[in-house]
Each structure stands twice: as C-alpha cells, then as structure tokens.
Chains A and B, each alone.
Chain A
C-alpha cells in the first residue's frame, strides 16, 4: 500500500526507475521519496531499531531518508529527483548493522 497520496499534478510524463532491482512507476519531477512512497509504504530499515523508516523532515535536515545508488553513493531521497532508468537500493551496499545482519 502506498504511503503518500497524489493530490494533483498527475498530468506529467511517466518515468520508470528500479528500486532494489524492481521497477517502480513514477512521474517526471517526483523526488525519489515521492516515487518510492507513492508505490510503497517505507524507504528503508532503521539501523538502530526494528522499525522501517519513511523519512521525516522532507527538507534535507534530518537525513532519515537516505537510499543508495547501486555503487554505494548515498542519496537524500527527499531532495533527489527521480530519473528514468535510475537504479537505487534501500540498504547501504556492503554495510551491515547489528539489528539486521
């Protein structure tokens, strides 16, 4: 189930990106966060607790919404625009944390 609900501006060209290898349909001008949360409920697993996370401040201050490129570059989902053919992963490549190794 989606977390975000689109309330307008839906007449934009579609783009398809790949999240953890799976295709996600979004619209041109969407941030990664909107692309991911219009098609799903969460962005990532917390490193410090059992819960999934979905961002918090949407203005680049809390850093809760990090996702990664497949090569490991960190992206702030709230301030990075989704692009066609883009491939992102929701866990840090190569990293492991005590609560979900």
Chain B
C-alpha cells in the first residue's frame, strides 16, 4: 500500500507534536501553516533579527516553547512544510490552499486539524475605536514585535490571559493603567477544586497577580464595562465601567486590551463536515471528538485549542494522541493511556477556569442600541434587535443574512458569540437554540491576486 497522505493544518503545539509522531513512524506529513514561522500563537517566534531570550518572551513556559521550536526545527527535513499558506476550504477529500502565489487542491487520507484559537470577545460600546485590541493581539505586539499597543494601556475582560499579558507588559516596561476583571473574585474560590488539577499552572497565575501588585497596578474584580470612550479621529481616550461596588468610574488610557479567554477556530472542522455539539460549560458549539481526537468524519482528527480550549500543554498531548491513534502502527498502550489522562487533567483545569472567569453572557443583551456589535461593518446592537423584530429571525445564520452581523471581514469570529447571546436573551430561548454561524469557504479572504485570477 502507498504511504498514507497525511495533512496537518497548523504548526503550533498540537501540529508540531502530531508531525513529530508521524515522522517517528516513518511518514512524511504535509504541514500547512499560515504563520511565517512555526510555534502557533502561544509560542509565536520573533523575527530572526530579534534577540530577546526565551525566558523574556515566554516566561514560565520558556522551556516548553524552546523544546517545541527545537522539535520543529529538527523535523523540517522530514516533513513537507508549507508556511504562509492558508487552508481556505476542505471538500471532496481535498484541502484547498492558497499562498501569495500558488493555489492548490491537495488530496489526503488523514487530516489533522490543529487550527488553534482566537480571542473570545464580548463587545463593549466604543470597541471600534483605534487603540482597542484583542488581548491576544496585545500579546502578539509585545512577543513578536517588542511593542506595546499604547502609551497607557487598560486590560479589560477576564480569563488567565488578562493577567498574563498585563504582567508581561509590566515586566517589559509598558505603562499599565489598570486590570479590570469582569469576574468576581469569589468565583475563584468555587473553582479551586478544579483548578487544583494543575497546581503548577495555578501557582503561575498567583505569581502573575503578585507581579501586578508589586508594580502598583490597579486590579479590580467584578467590574461591568460600560464604554470605551474615544473619538473617530484619535481613537481610544479612556474606559468607563461600574466597579464591583456599583460605583461608576473612568480611567484615562489610549489603548484597551480586551477579551474573555479564547475560542477555537472551528471553521475547517465545519467545512470537513464534522458533527458539532453544544458545550454548556463554555456556551459554545464545538466539534465532537473522542478521547484520541477522532472527529465524527473518518480520517479527520481534531487536536489542540482548535477543538476545545484546554491550553498549550494539553495541545501538545492531544496533537500526539491524534497522530498516534490510527497510524496503523504498533503504539505504546501505556503512553496512550498516560496522554489521555494528561488531557483529562487539563480538561478539569479548563472547567475550573470557566468557573473562575465566567463568560459574561449577560453583557450582550445589555448593550445599548447605539453600541456597535459587529465592528467589521459597524452594525449596532439596535440594528440586530430591529432585524429580529422585523423578520422574526431567532437563528444565528438567518439573523446574519438580514443584519450582516457575522458577514464582514472577520466572518463573525469576534462578534458571533455575543450576537448569539443577544439573540437568545431577546428571544427568550436558550443560546444553543440560536445555533452557530456556519463555516463558509473561504474561511479567510484569499490573497487578492489569486482571488482575481479565478
């Protein structure tokens, strides 16, 4: 039998570990990645002519980052690596790719989707102003370009990334005006039993808070964002919010890093026709998979944060598991069991994070009519409400067709979850009933030269 054609999408932690397992089995997978360099977002590599050491870039995860990069460097001769290449469709047993100059349809026998995550956003009035960035974006600015997103930055949202990026900014010498967490401090106590699944990660989190305190950064819990103030020309000028005490406060700043943990990039799993199920813990529709990463579609495997947000450490384990499962080669049953149990621990920890830093679902229906919900096309919360009234739309794709929410440049990545919450609350139905925005090809806009040539 000819060697199976294996395609791995993504060269972050899960894609790298999947590729490593394939190569060790004597196979030569195609590894397709949008990045200029491997590492994904979490272990994103700085440009060649930058000199900051691993410790400075990745903190407590420096050892993991370096090991992953070294593994990938070692694989380069043994894999068919295609950086700066977008997978924009999956259909008829083929992966459709586009780079700056080449478009291809590549057949596969096995497809491992290691597509990673993007920030999960809850819109705040004024988030369209220049100077409002996603938390992950704020981290990318520092990690891969050694810049701060502003002269005076407010971190607003929730989740572990809020504290991680804020403390990285402090350590790099940026001015952090405040860390405003929407989750109440008490939520962490309830989450503690689950968070203890990963004591070392929990401890790292505690250390981040200490870094912020030592630097004298204001940290508030249980806040409710009201508005990112600013103007059309100069951008962000400050934030207005209700403190946990209920008092309204404002803080001047020229940049806001915002977000509520992460959401998986599931569009390719959708195009590959994988079945999805509603995950009540995160209030998201996620592709189904078994313990070894098998999706509902034969030959399609899902690993890492692109399937469910379990973090980078888990991604390494789940990437390896997904590759090992069906290679048809003898596998070490002990290793499989231990990898599965490792992922199980990360899943318990993730449940803890969801309790400690809950998604503030109620902020979406509380958005005033004039707040922009879709920042791509400037569609307001009021526009979406009007569409619901006029058309009776109560399903995500139908509401999108009428309102254009989710139809713009980002294809609903940053407004889709909030729009679903708003629709659910207005219609008085559970959010799962609103459904999810269907993945559409191309999953991202194609390079213009190629698009025009079609």
Chain B interface bracket (under 10, 10 to 19, 20 to 34, 35 or more): 35 or more
A56-B414, A60-B444, A62-B413 given; A7·B173 CB < 8 A:
yes
B445/A34 in contact, CB under 8 A: no
CB within 8 Å of A: which B384-416 residues: 409-410, 413-414
A38/B133 in contact, CB under 8 A: no
Secondary structure call for the B interface: loop
Q: Does B48 contact A (CB under 8 A)?
A: yes
Query: Looking at the complex, which one of B41, B148, B445, B449 makes contact with A4 (CB distance below 8 Å)?
Result: B148
Inside 8 A of A21's CB, which chain B residues have their CB? Answer: none
Query: Looking at the complex, which one of B137, B140, B254 makes contact with A3 (CB distance below 8 Å)?
Result: B254
B410/A62 in contact, CB under 8 A: yes
Name B's A-contacting residues (CB within 8 A).
34, 36, 41, 46-52, 118-119, 128-134, 136-138, 140-142, 145-151, 172-174, 231-235, 254-255, 265, 372, 375-378, 409-410, 413-414, 444-445, 447-449
Inside 8 A of A29's CB, which chain B residues have their CB? Answer: 47-50
**Pairs of residues from A and B, 4 with the lowest C-beta to C-beta distance, nearest first:** A54-B130, A63-B409, A58-B137, A48-B378
Kindly provide the distance from the CB of A5 to the nearest chain B CB, expressed in whole angstroms.
4
23 contacts between A and B (CB under 8 A): A3-B255, A4-B149, A5-B151, A6-B146, A12-B50, A29-B49, A43-B130, A49-B128, A51-B130, A51-B231, A51-B232, A56-B132, A57-B119, A58-B136, A58-B137, A59-B140, A60-B444, A61-B118, A62-B409, A62-B413, A63-B376, A64-B409, A73-B448
State the CA gap A43–B52 with chains docked (Å). 27
State the CA gap A43–B46 with chains docked (Å). 22
B50/A58 in contact, CB under 8 A: no
State the CA gap A42–B376 with chains docked (Å). 16
Q: Does A31 contact B (CB under 8 A)?
A: yes
Q: Which residue of A lies closest to B172 (CB)?
A: A7
Query: Looking at the complex, which one of B49, B134, B173, B231 makes contact with A56 (CB distance below 8 Å)?
Result: B134
A51/B128 in contact, CB under 8 A: yes
Query: Looking at the complex, which one of A10, A30, A52, A63 makes contact with B444 (CB distance below 8 Å)?
Result: A63
Chain A interface bracket (under 10, 10 to 19, 20 to 34, 35 or more): 35 or more
Name A's B-contacting residues (CB within 8 A).
3-12, 28-31, 34, 37-38, 41-43, 46, 48-64, 66, 72-74, 78-79, 81
State the CA gap A72–B414 with chains docked (Å). 27
Other A-B contacts than A59-B136, A61-B413, A62-B134, 17 sampled, CB-CB below 8 A, are A4-B150, A6-B146, A9-B52, A34-B145, A42-B130, A48-B377, A56-B132, A56-B133, A56-B414, A57-B118, A57-B410, A57-B414, A58-B136, A62-B413, A66-B409, A72-B448, A81-B47
Most buried by A among B133, B137, B138, B149: B137
Inside 8 A of B34's CB, which chain A residues have their CB? Answer: 60
Most buried by B among A29, A55, A64, A79: A64
A7/B232 in contact, CB under 8 A: no
Inside 8 A of A79's CB, which chain B residues have their CB? Answer: 36
Inside 8 A of A3's CB, which chain B residues have their CB? Answer: 130-131, 149-150, 235, 254-255
Inside 8 A of A57's CB, which chain B residues have their CB? Answer: 118-119, 133-134, 136-137, 410, 414
B50/A9 in contact, CB under 8 A: yes
A58/B140 in contact, CB under 8 A: yes
A5/B409 in contact, CB under 8 A: no
B137/A38 in contact, CB under 8 A: no
A49-B372, A54-B235 given; A5·B147 CB < 8 A:
yes
Query: Looking at the complex, which one of B133, B174, B376, B410 makes contact with A7 (CB distance below 8 Å)?
Result: B174
Kindly provide the distance from the CB of B46 to the nearest chain A CB, expressed in whole angstroms.
8
State the CA gap A76–B151 with chains docked (Å). 24
B172/A8 in contact, CB under 8 A: yes
Kindly provide the distance from the CB of A1 to the nearest chain B CB, expressed in whole angstroms.
8
Kindly provide the distance from the CB of A101 to the nearest chain B CB, expressed in whole angstroms.
16
Query: Looking at the complex, which one of A11, A31, A54 makes contact with B145 (CB distance below 8 Å)?
Result: A31
Inside 8 A of B372's CB, which chain A residues have their CB? Answer: 49
Q: Which residue of A lies closest to B84 (CB)?
A: A79
Inside 8 A of A7's CB, which chain B residues have their CB? Answer: 142, 146-148, 172-174
